[in-house]
């Protein structure tokens, strides 16, 4: 029973408690870039989730075979393989989505969420738990992207999934689908997430080297070169 409970925990933690975008602050690039419309946000979320689940399964199955020292390149090859598969499927069956996502589709390879989960979870845990972890994180990622995409599309073009929602008399605020709007909406979403976390007594989301999958390789992170200059980090 306890086992079942922990498996459920692996799945649900990614959705809210450890939401990859809003709590762990990973994968910010696709979050900002592909949320100009709800459709491309959902497409990105699902593509990344598929890659995440598959690569988590394979990496966790191979975790005893992969030598410690070359694990990062091994993970990257596995991830790149699945990204190529997803890329070819999207190109074949959803060419419109492929056009919308453009370069961001192959860039799922370098999405920190996927490498981060491989490094932090799938490399150390059994297959089923890793699959659920990947699924949970993927759902959390998709959910965060959906919210962002929904807000930006509604305010920026007055539509949702292409259907007119706001009346014609309200002119759409185009700025929200441009780059500055992305940063702005993400900042406010992050503020909301922080507020909710605070109410539950959890620490705020901070972008530091801790969440980065490359932290162990990075000399700068070990020296704390980028963290806490001029006492900024201590303020909170």
Partner 1 sequence: MKVYVAILLTAILTNNYILSKFLGICPFLGVSKKLNTAVGMSLAVIFVMVLSSAVTYPLNTFLDNHGLGYLQTIVFILVIAALVQLVEIVLRKYIPALYNSLGIYLPLITTNCAVLGVTILNIDSGYTFAESMVNSFGSGVGFLVAMVMFAGVRSRMESCDIPKFLQGLPITLVAASLVSLSFLGFTGLVENMFA
Stretch that binds partner 1, among 11-19, 41-49, 153-161, 185-193 (CB under 8 A): 185-193
Q: Does residue 112 bind partner 1 (CB under 8 A)? A: yes
Q: From the list 77, 89, 161, 170, which residue makes contact with partner 1 (rule: CB under 8 A)?
A: 77
Q: Does residue 62 bind partner 1 (CB under 8 A)? A: no
The owner of tokens 């990105």 is 44
Helix, strand, coil shares of the chain, percent, nearest 5, are 70, 0, 30
Q: Does residue 128 bind partner 1 (CB under 8 A)? A: no
CA distances from 89 to 79, 125, 142, 189 (A): 15, 29, 19, 32
Minimum CB separation of residue 188 from partner 1 in Å reads 7
Backbone φ and ψ for 138, nearest 5 degrees, come out as -65, -45
Nearer to partner 1, 82 or 142 (CB): 82
Give the DSSP letter string of 100-133. HHGGGTGGGGG-HHHHHHIIIIITTS-HHHHHHH
Residues 6+ apart with CB under 8 A from 228: 234
Minimum CB separation of residue 130 from partner 1 in Å reads 20
Q: Does residue 92 bind partner 1 (CB under 8 A)? A: no
Q: From the list 65, 67, 229, 234, which residue makes contact with partner 1 (rule: CB under 8 A)?
A: 229
Q: Using an 8 Å Cβ cutoff, are 40 and 54 in contact?
A: no
Residue 159 pairs in a beta bridge with: 164
Q: Does residue 168 bind partner 1 (CB under 8 A)? A: no
> How far is it, in rounded angstroms, from Cα 58 to Cα 123?
10
Instruction: Write out the residues near partner 1 by the rule CB under 8 A.
Output: 25, 28-29, 32-33, 72-73, 76-77, 80-81, 83-84, 87-88, 102-103, 106-107, 109-112, 115, 175, 178-184, 186-188, 190-191, 194-195, 204-209, 212-214, 217-220, 223, 225-230, 232, 235-236
């Amino acid at each position: 029973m306890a086992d079942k409970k922990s498996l459920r925990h692996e799945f649900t933690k990614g959705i809210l408690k450890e939401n990859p975008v809003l709590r762990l602050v990973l994968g910010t690039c696709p979050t900002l870039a592909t949320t100009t419309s709800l459709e491309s946000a959902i497409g990105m979320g699902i593509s990344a989730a598929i890659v995440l689940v598959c690569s988590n399964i394979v990496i966790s199955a191979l975790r005893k075979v992969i030598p410690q020292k070359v694990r990062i390149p091994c993970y990257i090859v596995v991830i790149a393989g699945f990204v190529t598969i997803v890329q070819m499927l999207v190109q074949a069956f959803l060419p419109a989505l492929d056009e919308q996502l453009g370069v961001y589709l192959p860039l799922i390879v370098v999405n920190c969420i996927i490498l981060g989960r491989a490094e932090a979870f799938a490399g150390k845990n059994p297959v089923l738990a890793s699959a659920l972890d990947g699924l949970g994180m993927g759902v959390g990622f998709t959910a965060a992207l959906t919210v962002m995409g929904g807000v930006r599309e509604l305010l920026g073009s007055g539509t949702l999934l292409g259907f007119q929602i706001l009346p014609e008399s309200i002119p759409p605020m185009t700025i929200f689908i441009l780059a500055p709007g992305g940063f702005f909406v993400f900042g406010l979403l992050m503020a909301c997430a922080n507020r909710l976390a605070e109410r539950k007594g959890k620490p705020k989301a901070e972008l530091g080297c801790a969440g980065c999958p490359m932290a162990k390789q990075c000399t700068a992170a070990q020296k704390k070169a980028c963290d806490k200059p001029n006492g900024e980090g201590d303020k909170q």
